[in-house]
Structure 1
Amino acid sequence: MFIATNRFKVKHGSEAEFERVWRERDSYIASVPGFVAFDLCRGPEKEEYTLYISHTVWATKAEFEAWTKSEAFRLAHKDAGASANRVNYMGGPEFEGFESVLSLSPAEKAA
């Protein structure tokens, strides 16, 4: 499993608009091979911003990388740099990728 995250520093007062953009955008991701799950998570409030992460789970790193080179990826991110969206956050997103080295499910925990 591979987990891809992007951190966003969203300016105070822009949280609702930032979340709306994510809710209403076409992600084109649901039918991509290897896609498992997506979450947009609101984190702690700091002095100048609220921290968010987009959290995407993939079956493999190779499938995530294939997604980043696909037409679906280009379509999903075509408005990411638009000035209307950029006013909501400070700086650009900060990507972090993680390969799973241990994974437990509730059934495995009980066994």
Structure 2
Amino acid sequence: MRRIIVVLVLLVGFSFQGNAQQIKTVALEQTKGEFTQKSISLSEGTYVFEIANNEVGHDVGFVLTPEGKIDEVNHIKNAYVTSLVKNNKKSKTKEVVLTKGRYVYFCPLNPTPQYSLVVR
């Protein structure tokens, strides 16, 4: 019985470890009026976006939405930063599952242009 429990614990541990390795972080930096990374190309998967505020002078945020659908109702809510990004600080989003397609990202607080994110 102990061997079965040990095997189950090990399997569960490896399962959690495998899932953690599948989440990738995309680091983006905002300066006054723009993101420094103008476009992104990713493969399908689960991502966390880390947004850095580099001397913007006020709080910034992050919006990710399917291309052509920038109204708030279409925003990918998990892609909002968990807290506004203070000047010279960083903040992350929740996990975002991206499927093949075209998206745009921008910050309405900075404000920035819309930038392209393509998932292949």
TM range (shorter): 0.3 to 0.5
TM-score (norm 1): 0.32
TM-score (norm 2): 0.31
Which protein has the larger Cα radius of gyration, Structure 1 or Structure 2? 2
**Structure 1 or 2: larger helix share?**
1
